[in-house]
Structures are given as C-alpha cells and as structure tokens.
Amino acid sequence: MISKLDLNAIVTTIKECLPKERDIIGLHEPVFTGNEWAYIKDCLDTGWVSSVGKYVELFEKQLADYTGVKHAVAVMNGTAALHIALILVGVKPNDEVIVPDLTFVATANAVAYCSAIPHFADSSEKTLGLDPYKLEEYLNDIAEVRYGECFNKKTGRRIKAVVPMHTFGHPVDMDPLVELAQRFKLELVEDAAESLGSYYKGRHTGNWGKVSAVSFNGNKTITTGGGGAILTNDEEIGKLAKHLTTTAKLPHKWAFNHDMIGYNYRLPNINAALGCAQLEQLPLFLKNKRALAEKYRKAFSKINGVKFFTEPEFATSNYWLNVLILNKEYAHERDKLLELTYTHGIQTRPVWILMHKLPMYQTCPRMDVSMAESLEARIINIPSSPFLCR
C-alpha cells in the first residue's frame, strides 16, 4: 500500500531552509549590491546608453574570460543568441534540428525562426537534459549519413544540428553527445541559457558546441535586464556573429552599407554596464546558491516521496533553479503542492509544458519522450535566489 504524500511536511521543509523575515519568497530574484549604480550612472553621465559604448566590449571580454571561450558577442536576449547561433552553423529552411522536448519554448522557437523544423528528443533523469544514449539508439534507426550530411529516412529532410539545453543549470552529458554529433555529421549548438557558472568535467558549458547561447534575463544567475550572448571558439564565426547582430553594417564614417541580411540584436551599453557589475559578483552568487542547494539537499533527505535534484557526478552546477522531483506515484499531487506553497508565500512553479504539446509544434517529428513526460508531471522549482542563503 502506497503511503500518503505529506504535502505540509514538504512546505515546512522548504520554509525551514529560507529566511524567516520575508513574507513572500520569490522564485529567483536579482541582486544589485555591487557597482550597478556606478556603472549605469556613468552611462547616463556620458550619454552612451545605446548600442555603442565601452561597456559592451568590456562585458564581452569579461564574459569570454570567465567562460574560457575565445569570443563572446553580446545581444539583446538569449533567444536572439540562439537564433544567430543556428544561422552560423548553416541551418536552412526545411532542415530538422534536434532539440529536447523538455525545454523552454525559446529553444524550439529559435529553430522555427530559421524556417526549420524542431525534432524533439527525450531527456535523461540523471541530468534533466537531452539523453545522448537514447538519442543514439533513435538515430541509428531513423537517420542515415549521405555525402557527409545526416538525413531523416522517414521525412527525407536533412537533420542539420542538435541543440542540448543545460536544464536549470545542470550540464548535459556532453562527451557522448559530441561523439554522436560527429558520427552523424550534426552541428552541435549548446543552449547554455541557464548555465552560466556551470562546468562539465571542469570546463565551462558553452565550450563543446561550435556556437553556444547564454541568457541574462532578469531571473537568470546574473542579469543585464534583458540580454544574452553568443559564445564561440572559432575566430571567423565570432566575427560573423558580431557582423550579423549589428545589422551587417560595413564600417564607415557615415555611409550605411550593409552586405547581407543582418539583425538589430545589439545589446545596449547601459545593459552591458549592468552585466559588468553582475559578473564581478558572480563567484559570490554561485557560492551562495550552492550553499542553499546543499541546505535543501540535507533537509529533503529526510522527506519521503520527493527528492531534491543534485548535480551529476561529472558536473558542477550553478543550481540556477532548484528542483524537487516527486516520486512517480505522487505525480498527481504536484498541483496541490504548488497551490499550498503559494498559500504560504513561497513562489514555486512546474516545469515547462513539453514542446510537442504546444499547438504550433504538435506535428513536428519526435522520438519516444516517455522520460520527458514523466519529468514534466513531477518537477517543481523552488526558491533559488542567491541572497536566500548567505
């Protein structure tokens, strides 16, 4: 006989890990305790608030240095970064691009912006991200390599790229995925939107794909208000990324010459200034977030029917959003738990609706996604702000 899930005990456990003086605990709130005011004031005082100014280049350099990539190109948001990344690896209309079914909608949308077709893959319970081993079995069945390119035998379309997303900051198992991409001639583009400060086998995420995308939305580990960045270790791709995201305008004192279709995806200087101040504090943010995660882990080790998700042994996670996973037999209790946390002033949320269930993507190809379906029904995100444990 299955014992009843004690929802009140779960809520009490969450509350015991959080500050007592706050009536409402947000899911993930930004922290502005560094040089944010000074850098933004400098933009206002000098008048450099838009797409040109010293903070854009400084932010790109600091970001490249931190992540260990050779080039970082700052853009207006993470979706724009991913859109350009797909263009840079040659995704064309009617191509298929493999993306996880369990992801934020921007991953699939970026594919659609290229007039390409998302092809949904299953997730791993170990990482919450794309499962490279299950994907290998699937590709062995439906894909073939011809003339150095991969094709879907069922649709006849080219499969151009695979886009792993590091879910909630937990790195995908990249080594087998890199090998798989090489064998099937797929371009690898990392959706690292959630994983700034996360490492796979000692190396920062964003270093495995030919191009990667990062986000600095208001609820991310650091924020520029909006904002994102394209990361790459390829010098030519880095130059082209900058060109494409600045309307493909050729340098000139006054003439408006554009040599290709470009995009006005530039990050304003005032946002980059905020990013510089945030990057300075990132090590402290990560320290505090890992301390909060450890507090949750210990507390929930004593609670039946639910587990606190921890980083895989090959990874160091930023613990962007902390995750509770209900046991399978208690999946039906998820919404009751979400409702109860809100009545106690604790903001929580379920994971995203699976991409293949959204109306615009229901006809897209997909493999068996039974693990993604299981995780979708059982995941709850709990408060994760860096100031909650310091």
pLDDT tens-digit map of 356-375: 999 999 999 999 999 999 99
CATH match for 36-280 among 3.60.150.10, 3.40.640.10, 3.40.50.720, 3.30.470.20: 3.40.640.10
The pLDDT score that the predictor gives to residue 1 is 45
Tell me the pLDDT band of 40, cut-offs 50, 70 and 90. very high
Q: What is the dihedral of CA 180, 175, 188, 163, to 10 degrees?
A: 90
Tokens of 334: 């998820």
Domain 7-28+282-352+379-388 identical in fold to domain 36-280: no
pLDDT higher than threshold 60 for residue 290: yes
List, for residues 161-195, the tens digit of each pLDDT value: 999 999 999 999 999 999 999 999 999 999 999 99
26 vs 347: CA distance, rounded Å: 5
Report, as an integer, the average pLDDT of 32-42: 98
The pLDDT score that the predictor gives to residue 2 is 54
CATH match for 7-28+282-352+379-388 among 3.90.1150, 1.10.3210, 3.40.50, 3.30.2010: 3.90.1150
The pLDDT score that the predictor gives to residue 389 is 84
Report, as an integer, the average pLDDT of 220-232: 97
Is residue 66 helix, strand or coil?
helix
Tokens of 240: 């082209």
Please list the alpha-helical segments (H only) found in 208-361: 235-245, 269-300, 334-343
97 vs 100: CA distance, rounded Å: 10
Secondary element (H or E) of residue 151: strand 149-152
Task: Please report, for the chain, the start and end positions of each structural domain, with discontinuous segments joined by +.
Answer: 7-28+282-352+379-388, 36-280
263 vs 77: CA distance, rounded Å: 13
Q: Give the chain's length.
A: 390
Mean pLDDT rounded to a whole number for the chain: 97
Phi–psi pair at 343, nearest 5 degrees? -65, -20
pLDDT higher than threshold 50 for residue 311: yes
Tell me the pLDDT band of 116, cut-offs 50, 70 and 90. very high
Specify the higher pLDDT residue, 52 or 248: 248
Taking alpha carbons only, the member of 88, 90, 84, 129 closest to residue 110 is 84
Tokens of 182: 């090489």
Q: Output the pTM of the full model.
A: 0.96
260 vs 81: CA distance, rounded Å: 18
